[in-house]
Amino acid sequence: MREKIRTLLKDCSEEKQRPDGSVYHGISLIKELEIAQRTGAELYDIEGLALACGITPIRFSRNQRFLSLRDQQKLHRASVAVIGLGGLGGAVTELLARLGVGNLTLIDGDVFDETNLNRQQLCTTSNLGTSKAEVATTRVGQLNPATRITGHAFFLNQENGPELLATVDCVIDCLDTITDRFVLEKICKGLNIPMVSAAIAGCSGQATLIEPGKNSLKTVYGDPEKAPQRGVEASLGTLAYTAAFMASIECAEVVNIILGKKSCLRGNLLFADLSDYSVQHIRGV
């Protein structure tokens, strides 16, 4: 079957040009879907074979040339969990799907309400009262049907977390409560999984990478037993452009992790203030 798919991929691919004039072998999503229908194979597997054969799905052609074909393969094979699907998590989920991350676990037990409309990318007037996890799952399928999606319309906790996250390569913390972040950190440390964490308040935000055995959220928030339930966003509010900016930082860091590239967030806290466009790196986190 794999040889048949490879043959079909090569027959259906065509020589294409990028904006800079460089040439690549590409295949359209329509052709991939036709191959899936003819062979009964999963689109995820078809796309994996295409990349292995040096054929780029056309919708990822603009990822290149910053990302190589090998980089795109690594993204396709990667498994990432997004915890919290609100302002940060909704934007993160969409960005990861568009980049071509092949396996996404999406976890949030909340539903959309009107207060989410100002900043949460997945929230619309037509889906108020609908599960965030269900909306996110549908959205990813629309953006990248080759992605394997596991959506959970309930909250992650100390009991279910280890099983839910056991097979992922990286976790993205998009939670809105400090206490829940400490719970997630404990789970990730137990599973030896890196956690990219971000928070926003008003027009400022912060992000860091928590690596098991190397650093801790305690440096950022203090003693978990004394940490408040919510941060300063409760008084400063949360703005759409801040959420989008920090979500982009989180996604960039996840790509660095997946591709094995140098991270500027390792051991650092990035603090950005969009009121004056300042960015600081606070070392020793």
Q: Are 212 and 194 in contact (CB under 8 A)?
A: yes
Buried b or exposed e, range 64-101, using 16+ CB within 10 angstroms: beebebebbbbbbebbbbbbbbbbbbbbbbbbbbbbbb
pLDDT < 70 stretches in the chain = 228-235
Helix residue ranges per DSSP H, 53-202: 69-77, 87-99, 132-143, 161-164, 178-191
| CA 29 – CA 100 distance, rounded (Å) | 13
Q: Hey, which residues does 173 pair with through a beta bridge?
A: 83, 197
The structural domains of the chain, with segments of one domain joined by +, span 2-72, 78-283
Residue 224 is predicted with a pLDDT of: 81
Instruction: Give me the pLDDT at residue 212, please.
Output: 87
Say what the pLDDT of residue 253 is.
97
The three-class DSSP label of residue 79 is strand
* Start-end of H helices in the chain: 2-12, 29-39, 43-52, 69-77, 87-99, 132-143, 161-164, 178-191, 218-221, 233-236, 240-259
Rounded to whole angstroms, the Cα distance separating 261 from 34 reads: 36
pLDDT in tens, 103-136: 999 999 999 999 999 999 999 999 999 999 999 9
What is the three-class DSSP state of 197? strand
pTM score of the predicted model: 0.95
Specify the pLDDT at position 93.
98
* Residues 78-283, CATH architecture: 3-Layer(aba) Sandwich (3.40)
